[in-house]
C-alpha cells in the first residue's frame, strides 16, 4: 500500500489529480471537502476551528487504521494544503509519495468559478488569495532579514591578530595603526520577533560574516567609517538561553583604522545602543510542527501561534538554512542624543509591547497585518513619525476586535 500526500492551494487541482488516479480499491481523505461537509452548508462560514479539529482527528484515525492494517487499500490519498511536519511524522513507517500541485493564483480562481462544490465563491476567493499572498510574502521575507541586538562590545588584541587582520586589509597594517574590538552579532536566544537562530544557523553564519563591514547608523554618520570583520566564531557563554539550552553567541572581531575611531567614540559616549545585522535565511519554521512560520503564527494545519505554549513547548520561529550575511551596523538612538529622547523611545516600545500582549481576540490574518506594522516600527529607526503611525495603525487593528 502506498500513501499519496497531495498538497497545494484550494482549487489547485488536487481532487481532480486524485480522481484520475484512484480505483475502487483506494480511499481518499480530502481536508477541504471534509471541513465543508462537517459545517453549515455554504462553505467556510462555519466556525472553522470546530470542523478543522474534527477533520484532523479523522485524518489521524485513518492513518492509525492504515498502520495497524485494519484497512488495506491499494492506495490511500491524503489531500491537504501543505504537508506539515506533523503529518510527515505521523506517516512514519508507511510508504509515502508526495505530490505538489503547481497551479498559479489565476488558474485556481478560474477553477473556483467552475466548482459547484464551492458555492461560497467570495469566501473561497479570499482563502485562495490569502494562500498565495502568504507564500509570496514568505519568499520576499527571506530576501534579507534584519535583526537587532543590544550592544555587547568587548576587547580584541591587535598585536596578536595583526596577521589575520592583514588578510582583509588592502595594504599591510601594523598593530599601532588599527583599533580592534569584538561585538556580539546574534545568538540562539528568542528575540523580539519570537524567533531565534538555531545552533546550526550560527555555525553556518560565522564564515559568511568574514570580511563583511560594519558601519554606524547611516543617518547619524555621513563619513566613510568602516570596521571590517576578520574573525567570527560561535561562542558558548556558559549561560542558558530562555529555552534552558546552552546560550551561544556569534562573536565577531573587527578592526578599523586607529585614526578613525568615530564608531568607538560613539559607543563610549553611549550613543550607540544596538547592533543590527543583515542576513538571508532560507527558512523560518514553526518550532512545534515544522511548517512555514508567518508573522504571527505558522502555516501548518494547526496554526500554532508565536509565543503560545503547546503541551508545555513554546511556539517560536526557527531561523534556518543560512544563505548569506551582509553588513552589520551600530544603531544610534533615533534622534540627537540628549535628555528625554531615550525616555520617549522607551514609552513607544512599551506601547509596542502593549499592542503585542493578549492578541487572542484578533484573527490570525489580521494579526499578521498588525505584526507587520510593528515590524515597520522597528525597521525605520530614522523616522519617528512613521513609527508612531505604524504603532497607531497596529493599535487600530487590535481595537477593532476588542469591543
Residue ranges that bind Zn ion, judged by CB under 5 A? 286, 288-289, 291, 298, 300, 304
- Residue 379 in grid coordinates: 525597521
Instruction: Render the burial of 81-113: b for 16+ CB within 10 Å, e for the rest.
Output: bbbbebbeebbeeeebeebebebebeebbebbe
List the beta bridge partners of residue 331. Answer: 274
Nearer of residues 183 and 286 to Zn ion, judged by Cβ: 286
Residue ranges in 142-241 assigned as alpha helix (H): 158-168, 199-209
Q: Which CB sits closer to Zn ion, 288 or 374? A: 288
Residue among 59, 49, 116 nearest 83 (CA) = 59
Q: Side by side, which strands form the sheet with 96-100?
A: 27-30, 75-80, 2-7, 96-100
| Closer residue to Zn ion, CB minimum distance, 301 or 381 | 301
In the bound state with Zn ion, the residue whose beta carbon lies nearer, of 12 and 82, is 82
Say if CB 178 and CB 255 are below 8 A apart: yes
Residues constituting the chain: 403
Instruction: Using the Cα atoms of residue 298, residue 112, residue 139 and residue 84 in order, give the sign of their dihedral.
Output: positive
CB of 311 to Zn ion, least distance (A): 12
206 or 291: whose CB is closer to Zn ion?
Answer: 291
Q: Identify whether the C-beta of residue 279 lies closer than 8 Å to the C-beta of residue 213.
A: no
Residue written as cell 480511499? 27
Beta carbon nearer to Zn ion, 86 or 275: 86
Amino acid at each position: 500500500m502506498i500513501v499519496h500526500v497531495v498538497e497545494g492551494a484550494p482549487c489547485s487541482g488536487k481532487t481532480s489529480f486524485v480522481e484520475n488516479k484512484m480505483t475502487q480499491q483506494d480511499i481518499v481523505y480530502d481536508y477541504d471537502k471534509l471541513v465543508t461537509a462537517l459545517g453549515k452548508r455554504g462553505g467556510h462560514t462555519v466556525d472553522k476551528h470546530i470542523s478543522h479539529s474534527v477533520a484532523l482527528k479523522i485524518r489521524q484515525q485513518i492513518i492509525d487504521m492504515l498502520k495497524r492494517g485494519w484497512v488495506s487499500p491499494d492506495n490511500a490519498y491524503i489531500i491537504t494544503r501543505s504537508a506539515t511536519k506533523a503529518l510527515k511524522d505521523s506517516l512514519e513507517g508507511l510508504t509515502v509519495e508526495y505530490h505538489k500541485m503547481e497551479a498559479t493564483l489565476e488558474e485556481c480562481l478560474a477553477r473556483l468559478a467552475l466548482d459547484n462544490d464551492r458555492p461560497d465563491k467570495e469566501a473561497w476567493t479570499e482563502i485562495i488569495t490569502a494562500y498565495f499572498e502568504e507564500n509570496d510574502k514568505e519568499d520576499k521575507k527571506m530576501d534579507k532579514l534584519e535583526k537587532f541586538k543590544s550592544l555587547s562590545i568587548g576587547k580584541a588584541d591587535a598585536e596578536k591578530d595583526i596577521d589575520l587582520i592583514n588578510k582583509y586589509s588592502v595594504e599591510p597594517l601594523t598593530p599601532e595603526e588599527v583599533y580592534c574590538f569584538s561585538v556580539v552579532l546574534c545568538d540562539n536566544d528568542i528575540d523580539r520577533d519570537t524567533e531565534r537562530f538555531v545552533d546550526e544557523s550560527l555555525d553556518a553564519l560565522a564564515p559568511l560574516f568574514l570580511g563583511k563591514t560594519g558601519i554606524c547608523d547611516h543617518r547619524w554618520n555621513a563619513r566613510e567609517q568602516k570596521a571590517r570583520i576578520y574573525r567570527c566564531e560561535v561562542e558558548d557563554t556558559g549561560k542558558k538561553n530562555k529555552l534552558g539550552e546552552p546560550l551561544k553567541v556569534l562573536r565577531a572581531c573587527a578592526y578599523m583604522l586607529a585614526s578613525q575611531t568615530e564608531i568607538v567614540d560613539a559607543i563610549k559616549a553611549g550613543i550607540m545602543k544596538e547592533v543590527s545585522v543583515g542576513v538571508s535565511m532560507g527558512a523560518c519554521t514553526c518550532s512545534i510542527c515544522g511548517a512555514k512560520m508567518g508573522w504571527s503564527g505558522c502555516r501548518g494545519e494547526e496554526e500554532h501561534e508565536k509565543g503560545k505554549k503547546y503541551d508545555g513547548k513554546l511556539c517560536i520561529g526557527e531561523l534556518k538554512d543560512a544563505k548569506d550575511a551582509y553588513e552589520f551596523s551600530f544603531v544610534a538612538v533615533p534622534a540627537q542624543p540628549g535628555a528625554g529622547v531615550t525616555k520617549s523611545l522607551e514609552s513607544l516600545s512599551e506601547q509596542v509591547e502593549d499592542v503585542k500582549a493578549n492578541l487572542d481576540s484578533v484573527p490570525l490574518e489580521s494579526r499578521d497585518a498588525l505584526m507587520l506594522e510593528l515590524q515597520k516600527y522597528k525597521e525605520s529607526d530614522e523616522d519617528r513619525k512613521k513609527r508612531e503611525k505604524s504603532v497607531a495603525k497596529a493599535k487600530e487593528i487590535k481595537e477593532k476586535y476588542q469591543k
